Structure 1
Amino acid sequence: MDQRIAIKEALTAPTSSKITICGIIQKTLRETETITLVVNDGSTVTPILAKISTPQPKDHQYLSQGSTIQLHGQVNHDDSPSLDVNDYTIIGPADPHSFPLALETQSPDFLNRNPHLRIRTPNHALIARFRSSVVSALTNLFDSHRDGPFYQVHLPILTWTDCEGGAEVFAAPTQHSKRKDAEMNETFFGARRFLNVSAVFHAEAFVQGLDRTWTLAPCWRAERAETDRHLAEFWMLEVAVNYIETLDPLYQLIEEVIRGTVSRLQESVAGKEVLAQSGSGELLRRWEKLLHRKWQKITFAEATRLLEPVREAKGCISGCQSAGGAQQDLTEDEEKYLCDHFDSPVFLTHFPSEIRLFQAKQSVRSIDDLPPGIHIDPAQTTEAFDLLLPGIGEICSGGLREHRLDVLVDTMRKKRFLTGWSKERPPDRNAPADAQPYPYLHPGEDLRSLDWFADLRRWGTSPHGGFGIGFERLLHYLMGTDSLKDVISFPRYRGVCGC
């Protein structure tokens, strides 16, 4: 028996070559004396035509869409690459009367709800190959970085810490059986635990010992948003770097990561296929813009001033505040406006402390300069940024991490992450550094599940920072797909978690 080769290789094999291929039948074309099968195996978007002149009568019904087949024959290049079949075996028959995956008729929603089948389509096989190529490019880039390797680390999926501080987590109680009526309990760990919202906290623990780390890991958020930009389960590329005191090394590293990945993709088989399948030069121009256009930087305050005419034209209230006076983040449309304005990727920097998480490093001022009371000064900014890409908006968030324990504790207090303080008479300042049972806490205050995170500062730390890139958002941008649901293997979003 000839050794099996991939259909990608069969398409370029010399005429008259004797080969063996395996694949899934995508379509059957029946003629008077021959049956032509359109077959693919996921190695390329281009199928091969397999011509069978003497099909066995018992196989007729299974020479149909969905069946898996092994074919032996000779390559023919008379018109287009094809295989003149000498012998074949139906490996896995599919019922032609009930096979659900009619490629010409099934909607994206049907495919998203049946991801165990959609990988059989040429487009989704290409997406999977492209995703693999991006991971390979990232691994190569981090391994060969000029400053020394970044070490890939594997971080926990179950956690006690809700790093987002909101009600967007999936709790992880246990049950003794899989019966629907089985009682859910929290006794396995002794208390409630959650599926990890982000790897950013645990990455800080690793960077204290390894200096430069990266991880690509799943995250879960129970957001109620029903958009093409949100998933309940997705992957994050998290990078952490030790011994940095400004944002410049992070800006440079992000550009290196994305530019280096795109450069490698241009030379990859999957990357070339994606560009060829796009049907126009728009996707190539998007890649070229990442590679060659100067990436702009603008502070949150500058962006707010730039957006004032846009907001006024829409009847929005002046400034970046809600009706109650609280600072508000930019909308998706405003992020896209900034990218269109500069016609390039944009680093949006120095977010107000009020709309950034407590671990973001506070800018400029020391804790003694902050006004008294539990509120956060609206003028206080952070050494934090987002990366916005044209047409999609935010794709990456990062910055310096607050390494000063006293400032961290005070910020946690102001953001209501501590328990035990009095809402009527909140403390104006931190307790002394030798406060018991924990430095800078007042009597009755508790760090709750974040004591280990504060310990990273208490027991010696250093200036450090990092960033997280939404992996599906990056793939969505580089492939020009309609939705994030297209680029993840098994999409989970509100109402859908089928298999």
Structure 2
Amino acid sequence: MTSRIIDLLRTGQPDQTVTIQGWVRTRREQKEFCFVEVNDGSSMAGLQAVLHQDLPNYTELVKQLNTGASVEMSGVLVASPAKGQRIELKAESVTVYGGADPETYPLQKKRHSFEFLREIAHLRGRTNTLGAVFRVRNACATAIHQFFQERGFLWVHTPIISANDCEGAGELFTVTALDLKQVPLTETKDVDYSQDFFGRRAFLTVSGQLEAEIMAMAFTNVYTFGPTFRAENSNTSRHLAEFWMIEPEMAFCDLNGNMDLAEAFLKHIFRYVLEHCPEDMEFFNQRIDNSVLATADNIINNSFERITYTEAIALLEKADRKFEFPVSWGLDLQSEHERYLAEELFKKPTIVTDYPAAIKAFYMRLNDDGKTVRAMDILAPKIGEIVGGSQREERLDVLERRIQDLGLPQDDLWWYLDLRRFGTVPHAGFGLGFERVVQFMTGMTNIRDVIPFPRTPLNAEF
């Protein structure tokens, strides 16, 4: 039976007979034996194997053990005399599954830029940094499901193909089966989507929120966790065309309950990752950003600051610094404003609530002042907004007025309005960008380096 290297490094004992499989990281030849480090992706560190020259075909075998070669090795664990490693494998049999030409294998024992590694995304998971990123990403996903499942939430699979622009941003990918060489047109020369597959225009979804609201009206507490898409022509380090979102929706819940859940949620994710990926997080702290562990501690052990948008604007106006973007009530907060509040002023995650209705979505509950809505954003040090949510508008008459005032097609939202006609309740929810939280947790500066195969303008190679 094959053993995972991480398990052997943690609990393997001398005289234990084991078999490992993985890829060669390094090879060092001595006069009578050869040291080979093998890594199977389960941990940052590999297991050192010692091959003695009395192995069959030793000379020919060693020539094949280049960096990147895939191998299976069986033997006995022995105490290691080398510093920094407790055990090593005394190899008794070695099989090389696939070689790697050292002249052409692009991953050598040296530092590679992240830009270069994006060009070889099919191999970059074998590097220390990206390997650590994807193990942390996996732990984050596990923590997310654990958090909601332990609280009785139902995981719902909302559609990837949608006819609605939930956020009203208009930057959607169109889904079509029309022949692009012979696109049918209406009398006004617009594309005739009535002849398309769905009989109407369809898109890749930007959010599963509206469908999650439907399910919350039957199951009380639900969450989505899946891919979303935005056709924003941006090449910044903060944007992807395909990204994953977590969106819980809770019936019989107000803004305060929403904030409480979101805070507990972030704390749980960070705590879980620190417990399950300690070596990877220590690596990020040493090699990527020396405040990674302090940031995690800040999230876990501090109560989040809570202020209103109006209070935030007042604090920004009093700030003893000049911002690039203007600060004025009614304008949206920019990243520099968000980071100032979380990083410099409060020095911990900060929840801003009650934004002007004019800059927020139609579905957010209108406050009694008629000017602000029950919205909330969680601002995190170093990254700005990490969670966005709100209490939803459950009053039919108010929601209809909001839709009309914003000029949205009310007929397309008949089913959404029906939720307010048949058993409406106060409800709330939020969205967390999965890549954003992985980026925040690891200290990686570019969001393209926390997803295995980034989709960005002019880039869908892998």
Question: 1-side partners of 2:201 and 2:307: how far apart?
Answer: 41
Residue 342 in 1 paired to residue 351 in 2? no
Structure 1, residues 340-395: CA drift from partner, whole Å, max 9, x if none?
Answer: 20111111110101100101111115xxxx6xxxxxxxxx1000010001111100
Of 238, 252, 257, the residue aligned with 2:247 is 238
Residue 171 in 1 paired to residue 174 in 2? yes
Structure 2 counterpart of 1:376: none
Of 4, 7, 16, the residue aligned with 2:5 is 7
Question: 1-side partners of 2:181 and 2:109: how far apart?
Answer: 40
* Contact 1:201 1:453 survives alignment (8 Å): yes
Unmatched 5+ stretches in structure 2: 185-192
Question: 2-side partners of 1:260 and 1:31: how far apart?
Answer: 48
When normalised by structure 1's length, the TM-score is 0.83
Residue 156 in 1 paired to residue 159 in 2? yes
Of 386, 397, 416, the residue aligned with 1:453 is 416
For residues 135 and 36 of structure 1, do their structure 2 counterparts lie closer, same or farther at Cα, with a shift above 3 Å needed?
A: same
Structure 2 counterpart of 1:384: 375
Structure 1 counterpart of 2:453: 490
Question: 2-side partners of 1:13 and 1:26: how far apart?
Answer: 20
* Contact 2:174 2:204 survives alignment (8 Å): yes
Question: 1-side partners of 2:400 and 2:445: how far apart?
Answer: 43
Question: Secondary structure of the residue that 1:165 maps to in structure 2?
Answer: coil
List aligned pairs for 1:13-412, cutoff 5 A.
Answer: 13-54=12-53, 55-76=57-78, 77-79=80-82, 80=85, 81-102=87-108, 104-145=110-151, 149-174=152-177, 187-244=196-253, 246-268=254-276, 270-275=277-282, 277-279=284-286, 282-310=291-319, 313-314=322-323, 319-320=328-329, 327-339=330-342, 340-365=344-369, 380-412=371-403
After TM superposition, give the deviation of residue 58 of structure 1 in Å.
4.3
* Contact 2:232 2:241 survives alignment (8 Å): yes
Structure 1, residues 103-148: CA drift from partner, whole Å, max 9, x if none?
Answer: 5253211222332211222332222222222222222222223xxx
Range 190-199 or range 12-21, more displaced: 12-21
Amino acid paired to 1:218 = P
* Contact 2:325 2:334 survives alignment (8 Å): no
* Contact 1:349 1:383 survives alignment (8 Å): yes
Question: 1-side partners of 2:150 and 2:235: how far apart?
Answer: 39
* Contact 2:2 2:18 survives alignment (8 Å): yes
After TM superposition, give the deviation of residue 449 of structure 1 in Å.
3.0
Question: 1-side partners of 2:182 and 2:22: how far apart?
Answer: 45
Structure 2 counterpart of 1:421: none
Range 12-21 or range 66-75, more displaced: 12-21
Structure 1, residues 6-56: CA drift from partner, whole Å, max 9, x if none?
Answer: 112333422233221111112222344433222100111011222223354
Question: 1-side partners of 2:101 and 2:259: how far apart?
Answer: 54
Q: RMSD across aligned C-alpha pairs, in angstroms?
A: 2.3
Structure 1, residues 442-475: CA drift from partner, whole Å, max 9, x if none?
Answer: xxxxx25323222222334211111111111111
Question: Secondary structure of the residue that 2:336 maps to in structure 1?
Answer: helix
Structure 1 counterpart of 2:187: none
* Contact 2:351 2:378 survives alignment (8 Å): yes
Amino acid paired to 2:360 = R
Amino acid paired to 2:8 = A
* Contact 2:23 2:68 survives alignment (8 Å): yes
After TM superposition, give the deviation of residue 281 of structure 1 in Å.
6.3
For residues 318 and 264 of structure 1, do their structure 2 counterparts lie closer, same or farther at Cα, with a shift above 3 Å needed?
A: closer
Question: 1-side partners of 2:273 and 2:453: how far apart?
Answer: 23
After TM superposition, give the deviation of residue 227 of structure 1 in Å.
1.8
Question: Secondary structure of the residue that 2:158 maps to in structure 1?
Answer: coil
Question: 2-side partners of 1:487 and 1:210: how far apart?
Answer: 33
* Contact 1:312 1:318 survives alignment (8 Å): no
* Contact 2:323 2:336 survives alignment (8 Å): no
Range 40-49 or range 59-68, more displaced: 59-68
Range 96-105 or range 392-401, more displaced: 96-105
Judging by fraction of residues, say which structure has more strand.
Answer: 2
Question: 1-side partners of 2:327 and 2:294: how far apart?
Answer: 36
Amino acid paired to 2:2 = R
Query: What is the identity percentage for the equivalent residue pairs of Structure 1 and Structure 2?
Result: 31
For residues 184 and 27 of structure 1, do their structure 2 counterparts lie closer, same or farther at Cα, with a shift above 3 Å needed?
A: farther
Question: Secondary structure of the residue that 1:329 maps to in structure 2?
Answer: coil
